[in-house]
Structure 1
Amino acid sequence: MYFEGYGYRGSTFEQTYRCYPASFIDKPQLEAGDKIIMPPSALDRLASLHIEYPMLFEVHNAAAERTSHCGVLEFIAEEGMIYMPYWMMQNLLLQEGDMVFIKNANLPKGTYVKLQPHTTDFLDISNPKAILEKTLRNFSCLTTGDSIMVAYNNKKYYIDIVETKPSNAISIIETDCEVDFAPPLDYKEPEPVKPAVPANTEPTGEAPAEEEPKFIPFTGSGRRLDGKPSKDKDMLASCPAKRQANATNSVQPSTASTSQGGSSRKTTGKLVFGSGGNRADKAPEKEAKEEPKKEEPKFSAFTGKKYSLKG
């Protein structure tokens, strides 16, 4: 059965309209909610079907296979046309003048909804819960998968409807609904803090730290009880390390001379390679030919000449 030539049939409201954004008419308040503007003929048909209030509709874009739900604000649009919020057209992937299918719907009252902001900026608002409650007063229903727009302080915030209960589409008119938030889409978890490396442990590949000098007893400077400055000889005598060093230095020359003499005398049991193999045998002959050095006369006390004071 058709109604006034506009194609209405059966006991439900089903009609196809051309869709246009709310900016085409002087109705900026449409962008703050989910309500559309329909032609007067739609109101006549809905009244004859005794549709219960609030009137809710299913909106379907057959070309993109996208579905959403909405309410109605007024019936003042031109015949064959409807006006809806631009964010709703984005959800349905609709362009200006595209055809959209409208059908009346009965939705259960919502008990739970999970929201996910697109950016963390929404959580930086002083009271995001109050702003969200105020915005949702202009909404009739929510559909899982939609992205609604919240306007605050001359800025637009988009929020995804992640989950709704008890069904994928719910009515939020005069109902107590539990609201939960998921982390924003641009949220990044903080990186785990690396534990500090203890001072006594060294990472692999690094050079070991220099060892601290070991303690050597009795190596400090001496001080006199009468307050007078100590002499260098006293300090040297009181330092065992210095005494040992002096003793070592005094022994070194005799040791060197002994080693040189010993090396010259050792001719047997020595392996000599090359053409100079007879050098070891000739060495003693040279030593034999060398004339012994004359010994210098030793100093003898009281051996000088005598002198008389008389002259």
Structure 2
Amino acid sequence: MFFEGYHYHGSGTTFEQSYRCYPASFIDKPQIESGDKIIMPPSALDRLASLHIDYPMLFELRNAGSERVSHCGVLEFIAEEGMIYMPYWMMQNLLLQEGDIVRVRNVTLPKGTYVKLQPHTTDFLDISNPKAILETALRNYSCLTTGDSIMVPYNNKKYFIDIVETKPANGISIIETDCEVDFAPPLDYKEPERPAVPATAAKALAKAEEVEAEPEPKFNPFTGSGRRLDGRPLSYEPPPSAASSSSSSSKDKQPAVSNGNGQSSGSEKAATARQAQGKLVFGGNANRAPKEAPKAGAGKETKKEEEEKKEESKFQAFSGKKYSLRG
């Protein structure tokens, strides 16, 4: 189809044409570097006006050699016929050189609901209010495409930001829409390294872990020895516990103190006399039964004493005799 002497492709509702592309430095329009709008020839405007297309005008840019695709808007129709001017960062995204052929086709993009951005450098995060700067810069953009790297100028410096993800499609319109924006960590971001632990601190930490790992001493109930209220000896002697064997064995196995004549002392006789009268006496010697002093010259135990020891070693529950406190 020819329109005013220039051949155009596409159906009655579609605009599609190939142009040679050049950067903005070839024309006195430096402002197009801060957005995503291109400059097209006047014949393109005449063709678009005859079509029933949606406004604002959005276009798909395709590099057939590298199969790279991006989207853009249009700023003016003042370029020479057969040529278009575009931002240099857009040519870099499409892998285009000066004078290369690019295919231009009008499209309708859905309004964006979500976009994820990733700055190239951490310098962008050092700006006092990067969110406000980004909102101001995106006013010059009409659409965003997943995989593109847009340029945001601020304070005589250019910041490049990757479009990591867009929803609901790979190409979205951001004109008069509320879009949720998320940031990924910058490309040159490195997590801070953890400081090395000094050797002394590591040893102290290991020692603390060893102390915590030591088992706590177990509680053994009812490990004491039993005693009768009337002061008489038990019919059996319970085995001492492991915890108190070292301390109680030495006290329980001490021989009775006797005088030179082989008889018990006067205090033991007095305790025995009080117990015989039926009185309950508390004291160091009151709980001990009187022991007979060993007879002089007795080197061997009698048969009767051996039988008594055998009987004491056998435990029989509730086999003792009952006694009255009144005697």
Q: TM-score band (shorter)?
A: 0.5 to 0.7
Alignment pair present for 1:19 and 2:14? no
Q: Say which of 66, 83, 86 aligns to 1:84.
A: 86
For residues 177 and 195 of structure 2, the distance between their equivalents in structure 1, rounded to whole angstroms, comes to: 45
SS at 1:163's partner residue?
strand
Deviation at residue 7 of structure 1 after TM alignment: 2.1
Deviation at residue 129 of structure 1 after TM alignment: 0.5
For residues 3 and 47 of structure 1, the distance between their equivalents in structure 2, rounded to whole angstroms, comes to: 12
For residues 158 and 126 of structure 2, the distance between their equivalents in structure 1, rounded to whole angstroms, comes to: 14
Deviation at residue 52 of structure 1 after TM alignment: 1.7
Relative to 1, partners in 2 of residues 1:92 and 1:200: Cα closer, same or farther, differing over 3 Å?
closer
The TM-score with structure 2 as length reference comes to 0.60
1:44 corresponds in structure 2 to 46
SS at 1:137's partner residue?
helix
Deviation at residue 201 of structure 1 after TM alignment: 3.0
1:101 corresponds in structure 2 to 103
Q: Say which of 132, 135, 142 aligns to 1:133.
A: 135
Relative to 1, partners in 2 of residues 1:199 and 1:13: Cα closer, same or farther, differing over 3 Å?
closer
| Moved segments of 4+, more than 6 Å | none
Q: Say which of 166, 188, 191 aligns to 1:189.
A: 191
1:116 corresponds in structure 2 to 118
For residues 200 and 189 of structure 1, the distance between their equivalents in structure 2, rounded to whole angstroms, comes to: 24
For residues 200 and 19 of structure 1, the distance between their equivalents in structure 2, rounded to whole angstroms, comes to: 65
List gaps (5 residues or longer) in structure 2.
Answer: 206-327
1:256 corresponds in structure 2 to none
Deviation at residue 8 of structure 1 after TM alignment: 1.6
Deviation at residue 65 of structure 1 after TM alignment: 1.2
Deviation at residue 90 of structure 1 after TM alignment: 0.6
SS at 2:187's partner residue?
coil
How large is the RMSD of aligned CA atoms in angstroms?
A: 1.8
Q: Say which of 175, 181, 187 aligns to 1:173.
A: 175
Overall identity of the aligned pairs, in %: 81
For residues 96 and 80 of structure 2, the distance between their equivalents in structure 1, rounded to whole angstroms, comes to: 19
Deviation at residue 73 of structure 1 after TM alignment: 0.2
For residues 202 and 106 of structure 2, the distance between their equivalents in structure 1, rounded to whole angstroms, comes to: 75
Deviation at residue 184 of structure 1 after TM alignment: 0.1
Q: Which amino acid aligns with 1:81?
A: M
Relative to 1, partners in 2 of residues 1:130 and 1:200: Cα closer, same or farther, differing over 3 Å?
closer
Query: 1:106-153 deviations in whole A, cap 9, x for unaligned?
Result: 000000000000000000001100100000000000000000001000
